[in-house]
């Protein structure tokens, strides 16, 4: 019996050792829960990296939507920092949506005359603000749209000729008719000089008039181009909003299906 009691006593000791191990099991779950909470935290540096990485690809796509692979690259850029927990591409998308909503609120404050102290306002305003196209899609200047000769059609000719024709003409007339009395030839020389002076002036006036017409046409074309760019911007904004709503609705439908399937299985 003593031997049997000795064999039975170690068994009880084994049972008592198992009890603490089961009571110690919950702390790792609590620790993992704390880690999940920290993953949702965004530092200012990580948010800056997110905006820079997303904005670079956003502009390269002509302000188009990023694909899944590009979102992974954005997440990799954020994860390269040491001051932030690991982020997935979905978390980066959600964070950017939150920033866009915050930007709309701050933009409304600025338009109402209030000042904003939000750190990321300037960056987002340059990327998705109403004035973003002005920095990336400006009409070509007049000097590039028109050749040099069209800008200055005949002004160089007037400068080259100057008033030499009148002077040389009067000199030739005097030298070719040395015996003509001064009183009889003075009126004809004055008329010829006046005609020689009026000819380049008429050319200059015509050149200025043509230049004015060309400039007016170019200004009209520039205004039309600006209107077309504004129309394209509005269409793009509308399409982007429609895509965002479609994505939101699709996500809600998928979540509802998952919830329904979960309830059906239970």
Please, what is the average pLDDT of the chain?
73
Q: Which residue has the higher pLDDT, 250 or 28?
A: 250
47 CB neighbour count, 10 Å cutoff = 19
Confidence of residue 188 (pLDDT cuts 50, 70, 90): low
% the chain with pLDDT above 70? 61
Which of 68-82, 115-129, 158-172 is least confident?
158-172
Position 138 pLDDT exceeds 70 = no
Q: Which two tokens stand for residue 193?
A: 């000089």
- The structure's pTM equals 0.38
40-53: per-residue pLDDT in tens?
689 999 999 999 99
Confidence of residue 142 (pLDDT cuts 50, 70, 90): very low
pLDDT score of 114 more than 60: yes
pLDDT digits (tens, 9 = 90+) for 145-163: 444 444 454 444 444 444 4
């Amino acid at each position: 019996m003593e031997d049997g009691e000795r064999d039975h006593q170690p068994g009880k000791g084994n049972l008592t050792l198992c009890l603490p191990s089961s009571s110690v099991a919950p702390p790792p779950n609590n620790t993992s829960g704390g880690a999940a909470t920290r993953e949702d935290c965004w530092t200012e540096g990580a948010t800056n990296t997110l905006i820079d990485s997303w904005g670079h690809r956003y502009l390269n796509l002509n302000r188009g939507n990023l694909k899944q692979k590009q979102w992974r690259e954005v997440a990799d850029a954020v994860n390269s920092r040491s001051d932030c927990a690991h982020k997935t591409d979905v978390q980066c998308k959600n964070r950017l949506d939150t920033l866009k909503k915050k930007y709309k609120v701050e933009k409304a404050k600025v338009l109402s005359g209030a000042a904003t102290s939000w750190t990321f306002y300037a960056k987002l305003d340059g990327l998705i603000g109403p004035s973003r196209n002005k920095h990336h899609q400006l009409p070509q200047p007049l000097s590039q749209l028109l050749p040099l000769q069209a800008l200055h059609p005949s002004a160089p000719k007037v400068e080259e000729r100057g008033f030499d024709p009148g002077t040389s003409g009067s000199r030739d007339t005097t030298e070719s008719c040395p015996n003509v009395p001064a009183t009889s030839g003075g009126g004809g020389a004055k008329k010829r000089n006046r005609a020689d002076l009026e000819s380049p002036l008429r050319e200059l006036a015509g050149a200025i008039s043509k230049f004015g017409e060309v400039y007016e046409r170019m200004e009209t074309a520039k205004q039309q181009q600006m209107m077309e760019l504004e129309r394209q911007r509005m269409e793009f904004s509308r399409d982007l909003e429609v895509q965002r709503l479609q994505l939101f609705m699709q996500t809600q439908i998928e979540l509802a299906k998952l919830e329904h399937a979960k309830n059906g299985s239970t």
